[in-house]
Amino acid sequence: MRTKTTFSILFWLYTKRIDANGQASIYARVSLNGKKLNISLKQKIKVDQWDSERQRIQGTNAYSKRTNNLLDEIRAELFQIYRELQRGGKIVTAQLIKAHFLGENKDQYTLLDLFKFHNETLANKLAPKTLCHYRTNQKYVLAYVDKRFSKKDLYLNELDYSFVLDFESFLRSYRPDHYRKRIANNAVMKHIQRFRKQVRLAVDLEWLEKDPFKKFKPQMEKREREFLTDQELLRIHNLKTPIERLSIVKDLFVFSCYTGISYSDIVSLTIDNLILGPDGKKWISAKRQKNGTPFKVPLLEPSLQLINKYLGHPRTKLSGTLLPRISNQKLNSYLKEIADLCEVSKNLTFHMARHTFATTVTLSNGVPIETVSKILGHTRLATTQIYARVLDKKIGDDMDQLREKLIKKKKI
């Protein structure tokens, strides 16, 4: 059901301030949905010449005709501004009409203005994948604006704390086209954080006076990062399948489990990324696509075997990469098939390989967390500490070593 809009224009004299010549200023009063706003027309006339009922100057002389024609032109211009703003799909306010009439609308920025500035300005600073996340976030914001306000865009000065809370509620019930389920809590908070960063940019640019997120506190749920155990990793590593797509995905996944390299970085590796390390053995040296952070990974035997397997392979010859490329769109669905074949009950995703490298392959085997952080290309040690969980097996091994030490001390 459409809401009825009321719009009117009234001309009046400010008779509280009459000058020595008996003149007062003419104002235009714009009324929109019960809200009124006055605009000074920078014109003065004699009070006794004003017809308040007809909102015109009395008389038929040249001055009266010229002034009345000006009032007609101003009325027509204000109505034209109102119609154009409506057609533009914006939320129209009396203040906005006044700003357009006085030529002050250059400071009236919209969400689309902000998104365009953000994407163009940060295009060379953000990784393509990160910029893609922001574009998805912007899509969700505009979907909310369309549903909530029936508009395609919104002025930044319309953003307030209630907008933030309503947007959060919208995300929790929203089902994206590419996703079968509702957006989980932490993903909702990530989208709120991305939108918050863009709004913070608007505040810094002085496009927006107040930060609507000032009172908002994100509520992240603590979730354990899933990883494969030694036995589960071994079952996937040893999988033999005649289906080429599954074999390639399995190899890429195993390579990530033994290097900690993400999918987007793996499929970008070339022979130039293969170097000799200070220990005289082969390493991978590259930069993370996500943030440009350099990383170096000494290659373990399983990852070396996979590189040798695909040397001269038709797929790697065509792509010029160390390992075959495969569509990211189908990647995780293929991993579900692999999990079924290997009787792995966990929700197998490619990012789990990175978790497995951090937890099962390195930290559980005594590799210092600082070394793991450097290999993973993390910019903060706190990021790596997410993976630093003590496994039951590690606890058992450590206690066995303690028992041996205590026995030796007792004998001494």
Residues 145 and 37 in one domain: no
Mean pLDDT for the chain? 86
Q: Of 18, 37, 19, 35, nearest to 27 (Cα)? A: 37
pLDDT per residue as tens digits for the range 67-78: 899 999 999 999
User: Is a pLDDT exceeding 80 seen at residue 15?
Assistant: yes
Residue 244 belongs to some domain of the structure: yes
pLDDT per residue as tens digits for the range 326-356: 877 778 889 999 999 999 999 888 989 988 9
- At 247, the amino acid letter reads S
Report the C-alpha dihedral over residues 154, 156, 159, 164, rounded to 10 degrees. 80
Residue 403 belongs to some domain of the structure: no
pLDDT per residue as tens digits for the range 80-118: 988 888 876 666 788 778 878 887 655 578 999 999 999
Residues 200 and 238 in one domain: no
Provide mean pLDDT across the span 199-212: 88
Provide mean pLDDT across the span 307-330: 88
Q: Write the DSSP symbol of residue 358.
A: I
Q: What pLDDT is stored for residue 341 in this prediction?
A: 94
Q: Is 166 exposed, middle or buried (0-12, 13-18, 19+ CB in 10 A)?
A: middle
3-state SS of 226-266 is CCCCHHHHHHHHCCCCCCHHHHHHHHHHHHHHHHCCCHHHH
Residue 76 belongs to some domain of the structure: yes
pLDDT per residue as tens digits for the range 358-402: 888 988 888 888 888 888 877 777 767 776 665 555 666 677 777
d(CA 197, CA 348): 31
Residues 247 and 166 in one domain: no
Residues 251 and 372 in one domain: yes
Residue 100 belongs to some domain of the structure: no
Sheet order of strands, 282-287 included? 274-276, 282-287, 294-298
Residue 106 belongs to some domain of the structure: no
User: Is a pLDDT exceeding 60 seen at residue 179?
Assistant: no
Residues 374 and 290 in one domain: yes
Residues 83 and 136 in one domain: no
Helices (H) and strands (E) in the chain, counts: 16, 8
pLDDT per residue as tens digits for the range 3-13: 567 899 999 99
pLDDT-derived band of residue 1, with 50, 70 and 90 as boundaries? very low
For residue 178, give the H/E element and its range: none
Judge whether 115 and 194 are in contact, CB under 8 Å.
no
Share of the chain above pLDDT 90, in %: 40
Q: Of 244, 228, 242, 234, nearest to 326 (Cα)? A: 244
Sign, Cα dihedral of 38, 44, 48, 51: negative
Q: What pLDDT is stored for residue 136 in this prediction?
A: 92
Q: What pLDDT is stored for residue 84 in this prediction?
A: 84
Residues 234 and 354 in one domain: yes
Residues 275 and 345 in one domain: yes
Residue 404 belongs to some domain of the structure: no
Judge whether 381 and 372 are in contact, CB under 8 Å.
no
Pairwise pLDDT comparison (238 vs 206), residue with the higher score: 238
User: Is a pLDDT exceeding 80 seen at residue 148?
Assistant: yes
Q: What pLDDT is stored for residue 181 in this prediction?
A: 67
pLDDT-derived band of residue 16, with 50, 70 and 90 as boundaries? confident
pLDDT per residue as tens digits for the range 46-59: 888 999 899 999 98
User: Is a pLDDT exceeding 70 seen at residue 271?
Assistant: yes
Count the domains in the chain.
3
User: Is a pLDDT exceeding 70 seen at residue 247?
Assistant: yes
Token digits of residue 393: 């097996």
Range of the domain at 343: 230-396
Residue 169 belongs to some domain of the structure: yes
Residue 214 belongs to some domain of the structure: no
Residues 305 and 248 in one domain: yes
CA distances in angstroms from 360 to 19, 262, 352, 354, listed in the order given: 87, 16, 11, 10
d(CA 25, CA 83): 27
Name the one residue in this structure whose structure tokens are 């951090």.
358
d(CA 383, CA 185): 20
User: Is a pLDDT exceeding 70 seen at residue 280?
Assistant: yes
Residues 33 and 174 in one domain: no
Residues 164 and 292 in one domain: no
Q: What pLDDT is stored for residue 387 in this prediction?
A: 67
Q: Of 27, 141, 147, 155, nearest to 85 (Cα)? A: 155
Provide mean pLDDT across the span 148-162: 89
Q: Which long-range contacts (CB under 8 A, 24 or more apart) does 2-7 make?
A: 5/32, 5/33, 5/92, 6/31, 6/32, 6/33, 6/34, 7/31, 7/32, 7/33, 7/79, 7/82
Residues 148 and 35 in one domain: no
User: Model-level pTM?
Assistant: 0.57
